[in-house]
C-alpha cells in the first residue's frame, strides 16, 4: 500500500513567473506548506488576498508528528472550511491511565465542559491534517480564489527591502526571482528564512530527544491515553501511548539529551521496548520510527519589517501539551485579519506589531507550560524528584493529588490580557470572557456561537437589540442580537453572569476586544479603532 505521505500532492509545475524579465511582485508569499503555511494561505485566500505558497517538497508530512488537535484549532479550522473533515476522521477519547514505575496509579475519564460544538481535542495524524488543508486550498482554487501552491520551489535567498522582500527560488527548471509585499515565513523549526536573515532563535530552556513510533495493532486495544512515569522499560524517563485513526497507535519514548540516535532507532532496539510497554503477546507492525529533537525557544520578535514569522519557525516547544501545530493555527488566525486590514488600507501597518506582541506573549505562556510539564516528568534535582514521586504515590489513593500530576497540559488558547488592542473592562461580567479572551463557545438557539461569530468584527448583543449592520470607522460590523428568551444557561454563565445585558465587540479571530453592560456607540467606535491599531498608545 502506498502511504499517504509518499504521494506527491502538489508536484513541481512551471510557473509563468519563471520567465519574466523583471521579477513579479505578489502581495503575499508564504514559505512552507506545513500545517501553518497551509492554514495561513487558506485564511488569506478566503479574504480574497492573492497568495502564493512555496515549498521545497511536494508531499504531506512524513509520519504522524503532531497528533493532538485542540478545540481551539478545530474552531479555527471550522472557519477555514475544513473542521468537519478533521473531526470526522479524528479519534475522540476521554479515558486514560497513569503508570508510575511498574504499577498503574490511577485511571481517569476527562469530563469535558458541556455546551461546545467541538470536543476538547481530537487525535489525528499530522499528514491527514495537512491533506485536508491542501484539499481545502484546491476547493478554494476551484471557486476562483487567488491562491497558488508551488511544490519543488526551494527558497534559496531572501533580500529584505523597506517595502518588500525579494526572493530567489531554486527549482528543477532553474532558479527564478519573485518579490513579495509581505513575506510570511512558515518554514518550520529549522527555518532557513531565519538563517538567511541572520535572526536569533533564543531560549534553549531545555533540550530533549523523543523516539516516536507509529504502531499498527493487530488486535483490539483500548482507545485510551497511557502515560508512564519512570517505567521499567525506560528508566528515569517517560512514555506515552495514544490512539490515532486507522488503528494506528502513537508511542513517544523520552530518551534524554545524550543519546546515540542511530542506535536508538534500530528496530532490534525499538521492538523489545515496545513489547515491554504493550505486553509480550500484543502483535503489532511498526509503521514509522523517528527521533524528534527539540529545544524550547522562540524568536525575540516575530515581525521583521515585511517579513513575518509563524509556527515552528517563530517558536518551538516540547511536545508535552501538544502546543506545536495548535499554537501555529492561533498564529495564522491572529495574523490573517490584520494583514487584510493593512493591505486594504483600513488599518495602519503598526497593527501588525500587535501580531508580534500577542503571539510572543502566547509563545512565552506555551514555553512556561511545557517547561513545567518537563520539570514534573524529568525532575531536575533530588528534592524535585521527591515531590514528584510523592504526588504520584498519593495519586494512587487520593484524588486531590491527581490535578498535580503533570504529563502535559492540554493546549488552550492564550488570553491576550496585556494586548494594546483591548479596551478597559467593565465590572460585573464573567472573567473568562474579559477583553483579550478567546470566545467561549455556547449554544445560541439552534446554532453554536462559534459558527454565528464566524469571521469579521462582530457586535454580540445579549438581552439588547442592535442593528444588523453598522458602519464604524470604515468597517461594516455585523450585529448579532440575542433576545433574552434565547439566552441559555451556558451563554448566560459565560457572557453575562449576573448582568442583565451585555455587548461584546469580537475580533475576527474571535477574541474579545471590548465589552459593556450598556449600549454606547461612541465607546464602541473608540474600542473598534483601538482594536485595529488606531487607538492612542496606552
Partner 1 sequence: MTAHITKAQLRHPDDFYADLLEAHEGRSKAESDAFNARLILLMANRIGDPDELKTLLEAAAKTKHPE
463 within 8 A of 484, measured Cβ to Cβ: yes
Which segment (259-267, 323-331, 358-366, 487-495) binds ligand FAD by CB under 6 A?
A: 323-331
257 binds, among ligand FAD, partner 1, none (CB under 5 to 8 A by kind): none
| DSSP-based three-state secondary structure for 342 | helix
In this complex, which beta carbon is closest to partner 1, that of residue 217 or of residue 394? 394
Burial (CB count <10 Å: 0-12, 13-18, 19+), residue 508: buried
- Residues 237-296 within binding reach of ligand FAD (CB under 6 A): 290, 292
In this complex, which beta carbon is closest to ligand FAD, that of residue 49 or of residue 186? 186
In this complex, which beta carbon is closest to partner 1, that of residue 401 or of residue 426? 401
- Burial pattern 70-103, b for ≥16 Cβ within 10 A else e, equals bbbbbbbbbbbbbbebbbebbbebeebbbbbeee
Interface with ligand FAD includes 126 (CB under 6 A)? yes
185 within 8 A of 31, measured Cβ to Cβ: yes
Smallest gap from residue 358 Cβ to ligand FAD (A): 17
List the one residue out of 523, 331, 496, 476 whose CA is nearest residue 514.
Answer: 523
- The single residue among 9, 54, 241, 499 that binds ligand FAD, judged by CB under 6 A, is 54
Which segment (95-103, 230-238, 309-317, 465-473) binds ligand FAD by CB under 6 A?
A: 309-317
In this complex, which beta carbon is closest to partner 1, that of residue 1 or of residue 431? 431
Smallest gap from residue 205 Cβ to partner 1 (A): 23
Chain position carrying cell 506582541 = 357
509 binds, among partner 1, ligand FAD, none (CB under 5 to 8 A by kind): none
Q: Tell me which H or E stretch contains 123.
A: strand 121-123
Interface with ligand FAD includes 319 (CB under 6 A)? yes
Query: Which residues of the shown chain bind partner 1 in the complex (CB under 8 A)?
Result: 386-387, 389-391, 393-394, 398, 400-401, 404
Smallest gap from residue 67 Cβ to ligand FAD (A): 6
Pairing of the two strands 224-229 and 95-100: parallel
- Residues 183-222 within binding reach of ligand FAD (CB under 6 A): 186-188, 192, 212
In this complex, which beta carbon is closest to partner 1, that of residue 36 or of residue 392? 392
| DSSP-based three-state secondary structure for 70 | strand
Residues paired with 258 in a beta bridge: none
- The single residue among 312, 333, 455, 478 that binds ligand FAD, judged by CB under 6 A, is 312
- Residues 412-471 within binding reach of ligand FAD (CB under 6 A): none
- Burial pattern 333-363, b for ≥16 Cβ within 10 A else e, equals bbbbbbbbbbbeeebeeebbbbbbbbbbbbb
394 binds, among ligand FAD, partner 1, none (CB under 5 to 8 A by kind): partner 1
- The single residue among 18, 57, 141, 295 that binds ligand FAD, judged by CB under 6 A, is 57
Q: Which residues are CB-contacts of 489 (< 8 A; sequence separation ≥ 6)?
A: 115
For residue 243, the number of C-alpha atoms closer than 13 Å in the C-beta half-sphere is 21
Cα separation, 400 vs 392, whole angstroms:
11
Smallest gap from residue 59 Cβ to ligand FAD (A): 9
155 binds, among partner 1, ligand FAD, none (CB under 5 to 8 A by kind): ligand FAD
389 binds, among ligand FAD, partner 1, none (CB under 5 to 8 A by kind): partner 1
DSSP label at residue 480: E
Smallest gap from residue 120 Cβ to ligand FAD (A): 15
35 binds, among partner 1, ligand FAD, none (CB under 5 to 8 A by kind): ligand FAD
Cα separation, 219 vs 194, whole angstroms:
46
DSSP letter string, 153-187: -EEEEEEE-SS-EEEEEE-TT--EEEEEEEEEE--
In this complex, which beta carbon is closest to partner 1, that of residue 161 or of residue 386? 386
Cα separation, 339 vs 399, whole angstroms:
48
CA angle, corner 490, sides to 433 and 424, nearest 5? 15
Smallest gap from residue 407 Cβ to partner 1 (A): 17
366 binds, among ligand FAD, partner 1, none (CB under 5 to 8 A by kind): none
Smallest gap from residue 375 Cβ to partner 1 (A): 15
324 binds, among ligand FAD, partner 1, none (CB under 5 to 8 A by kind): ligand FAD
Question: What is the contact mask toward ligand FAD in residues 20 to 39, using x (rule: CB under 6 A)?
Answer: -----------xxxxxxx--
133 within 8 A of 82, measured Cβ to Cβ: yes
- The single residue among 65, 71, 79, 306 that binds ligand FAD, judged by CB under 6 A, is 65
For residue 397, the number of C-alpha atoms closer than 13 Å in the C-beta half-sphere is 3
Smallest gap from residue 385 Cβ to ligand FAD (A): 25
List the one residue out of 437, 448, 506, 446 whose CA is nearest residue 475.
Answer: 506
165 binds, among ligand FAD, partner 1, none (CB under 5 to 8 A by kind): none
Smallest gap from residue 31 Cβ to ligand FAD (A): 5
* Residue 519 phi, psi dihedral angles, 5° rounding: -85, 120
Cα separation, 255 vs 253, whole angstroms:
6
- The single residue among 30, 66, 197, 496 that binds ligand FAD, judged by CB under 6 A, is 66
Smallest gap from residue 391 Cβ to partner 1 (A): 6
Q: Which residues are CB-contacts of 158 (< 8 A; sequence separation ≥ 6)?
A: 165, 166, 167, 183, 193, 196, 197, 307
Interface with ligand FAD includes 379 (CB under 6 A)? no
CA separation, residue 407 to residues 20, 96, 285, 320, 402 (Å): 54, 12, 27, 7, 11
**Which residues are near ligand FAD by CB under 6 A?**
31-37, 54-57, 61, 65-67, 126, 154-155, 186-188, 192, 212, 290, 292, 311-313, 319, 322, 324-325, 328
Amino acid at each position: 500500500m502506498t502511504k499517504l505521505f509518499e504521494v506527491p500532492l502538489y508536484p513541481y509545475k512551471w510557473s509563468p513567473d519563471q520567465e519574466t524579465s523583471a521579477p513579479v511582485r505578489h502581495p503575499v508569499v508564504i514559505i512552507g506548506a506545513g500545517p501553518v503555511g497551509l492554514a495561513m494561505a487558506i485564511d488569506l485566500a478566503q479574504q480574497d488576498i492573492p497568495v502564493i505558497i512555496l515549498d521545497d517538497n511536494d508531499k504531506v508530512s512524513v509520519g504522524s508528528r503532531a497528533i493532538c488537535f485542540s478545540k481551539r484549532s478545530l474552531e479555527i479550522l471550522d472557519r477555514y472550511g475544513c473542521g468537519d473533515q478533521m473531526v470526522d476522521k479524528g479519534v475522540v477519547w476521554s479515558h486514560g491511565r497513569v503508570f508510575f514505575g511498574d504499577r498503574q496509579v490511577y485511571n481517569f475519564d476527562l469530563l469535558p465542559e458541556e455546551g461546545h460544538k467541538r470536543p476538547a481535542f481530537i487525535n489525528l495524524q499530522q499528514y491527514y491534517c495537512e491533506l485536508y488543508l491542501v484539499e481545502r486550498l484546491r476547493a478554494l482554487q476551484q471557486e476562483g480564489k487567488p491562491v497558488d501552491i508551488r511544490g519543488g520551489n526551494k527558497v534559496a535567498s531572501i533580500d529584505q527591502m523597506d517595502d518588500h522582500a525579494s526572493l530567489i527560488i531554486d527549482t528543477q527548471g532553474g532558479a527564478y526571482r519573485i518579490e513579495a509585499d509581505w513575506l510570511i515565513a512558515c518554514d518550520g523549526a529549522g527555518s532557513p528564512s531565519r538563517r538567511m536573515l541572520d535572526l536569533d532563535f533564543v531560549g534553549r530552556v531545555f533540550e530533549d530527544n523523543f523516539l516516536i513510533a507509529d504502531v499498527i495493532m493487530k488486535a483490539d486495544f483500548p482507545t485510551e491515553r497511557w502515560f508512564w512515569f519512570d517505567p521499567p522499560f525506560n528508566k528515569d524517563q517517560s512514555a506515552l501511548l495514544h490512539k490515532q485513526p486507522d488503528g494506528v497507535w502513537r508511542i513517544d519514548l523520552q530518551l534524554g539529551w545524550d543519546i546515540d540516535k542511530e542506535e536508538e532507532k534500530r528496530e532490534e532496539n525499538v521492538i523489545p521496548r515496545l513489547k515491554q510497554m504493550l505486553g509480550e503477546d500484543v502483535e503489532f507492525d511498526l509503521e514509522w520510527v523517528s527521533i524528534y529533537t527539540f529545544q524550547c525557544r522562540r524568536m525575540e520578535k516575530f515581525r521583521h519589517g515585511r517579513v513575518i514569522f509563524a509556527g515552528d519557525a517563530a517558536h518551538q516547544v516540547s511536545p508535552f501539551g501538544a502546543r506545536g501545530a495548535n499554537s501555529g493555527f492561533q498564529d495564522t488566525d491572529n495574523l490573517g485579519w490584520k494583514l487584510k486590514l493593512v493591505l486594504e488600507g483600513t488599518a495602519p501597518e503598526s497593527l501588525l506589531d500587535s501580531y508580534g506582541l500577542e503571539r510572543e506573549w502566547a509563545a512565552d505562556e506555551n514555553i512556561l507550560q511545557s517547561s513545567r510539564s518537563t520539570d514534573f516528568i524529568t525532575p531536575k534535582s533530588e528534592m524535585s524528584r521527591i515531590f514528584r514521586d510523592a504526588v504520584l504515590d498519593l495519586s494512587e489513593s487520593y484524588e486531590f493529588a491527581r490535578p498535580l500530576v503533570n504529563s502535559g497540559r492540554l493546549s488552550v488558547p492564550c488570553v491576550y490580557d496585556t494586548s494594546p488592542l483591548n479596551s478597559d473592562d467593565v465590572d460585573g461580567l464573567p472573567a473568562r470572557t474579559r477583553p483579550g479572551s478567546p470566545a467561549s463557545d455556547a449554544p445560541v438557539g439552534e446554532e453554536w456561537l462559534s459558527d454565528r461569530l464566524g469571521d469579521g468584527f462582530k457586535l454580540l448583543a445579549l438581552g439588547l437589540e442592535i442593528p444588523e449592520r453598522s458602519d464604524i470607522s470604515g468597517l461594516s460590523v455585523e450585529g448579532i442580537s440575542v433576545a433574552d428568551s434565547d439566552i441559555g444557561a451556558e451563554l448566560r454563565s459565560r457572557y453575562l453572569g449576573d448582568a442583565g445585558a451585555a455587548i461584546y465587540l469580537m475580533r475576527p479571530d474571535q477574541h474579545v476586544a471590548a465589552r459593556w453592560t450598556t449600549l454606547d456607540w461612541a465607546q464602541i467606535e473608540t474600542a473598534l479603532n483601538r482594536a485595529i491599531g488606531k487607538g492612542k498608545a496606552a
